[in-house]
Amino acid sequence: MTKTSAGLAAALALATGALLAGASPAVAESAAERAVAARQAGFKQIGAAFKGVNDELRARKPDLAVVAAAAARLEGHATQLPTWFPRGSGPESGAETGARAAVWSDAAGFADAAANLRTQTQRLNVLAREGDLAALRKQAGQVAAACKTCHTAYREED
Ligand code: HEC
């Protein structure tokens, strides 16, 4: 081996070691970290869709088409929610997650909480198409309660 190629090999070994040690998180990110990032992005979309519903319902003359569109997005995200929690993406993984271990240890309870959100967002969606504002406002409260019920049991407090 020539001096130059030996030096190059050493430099490469160093670079590889740095990658494996996590010096470059974008490359070394674990499956758990990717799952957490994806579900947190999903929850941000849930938050944005629900804000869209509430902002419009608080307007003096809510545009029901805007409410209906946001409610439909919300229902879509609620349907996806149960798929955002693969096994191994909890706090034991070392990933920075707000999900408690109970999501998996009490999987039936968590599934109920997720199903409840789906039911409440479906009702919101139906009401948005029917256009009864008073009923819509009441139902938005039921959706908020479904978020809160799950957060209280399965999400770390901020
Ligand atoms: C079935 C349980 C469940 C329901 C229902 C639920 N959430 Fe969550 N939510 C969680 C969990 C668990 C986390 C923590 C995720 C993590 O950090 O890995 C979370 C995190 C979040 C976050 C923080 C995302 C981030 O950036 O870290 C927001 C915002 C949020 N939820 C909004 C909502 C809203 C709004 C609703 C209702 C429309 C809702 N959630 C319904 C379980 C739920």
18-59 confidence digits (pLDDT tens): 445 555 455 558 999 999 999 999 999 999 999 999 999 999
Q: If DSSP codes are grouped into helix, strand and coil, which group holds residue 98?
A: coil
Instruction: Decide whether any atom of ligand 1 lies within 6 Å of the 97 Cβ.
Output: yes
CATH architecture type of domain 30-154: Up-down Bundle (1.20)
CA angle 15, 21, 24 (to 5 degrees): 70
Instruction: Decide whether any atom of ligand 1 lies within 6 Å of the 32 Cβ.
Output: no
The first and second tokens of residue 17, run together, are: 């070691």
pTM of the model as a whole: 0.85
Instruction: Give the whole-angstrom CA distance, residue 5 versus residue 60.
Output: 73
The first and second tokens of residue 63, run together, are: 């545009």
* CA 101 to ligand 1 centroid distance, Å: 14
Element (H, E) at 144: helix 133-154
Q: What residue ranges do the domains of the chain occupy? A: 30-154
Nearest CA-CA partner of 87 in 107, 72, 73: 107
Instruction: Give the whole-angstrom CA distance, residue 91 versus residue 103.
Output: 10
Nearest CA, atom 38, ligand 1: 147
Instruction: Decide whether any atom of ligand 1 lies within 6 Å of the 53 Cβ.
Output: no
User: What was the pLDDT predicted at 122?
Assistant: 96
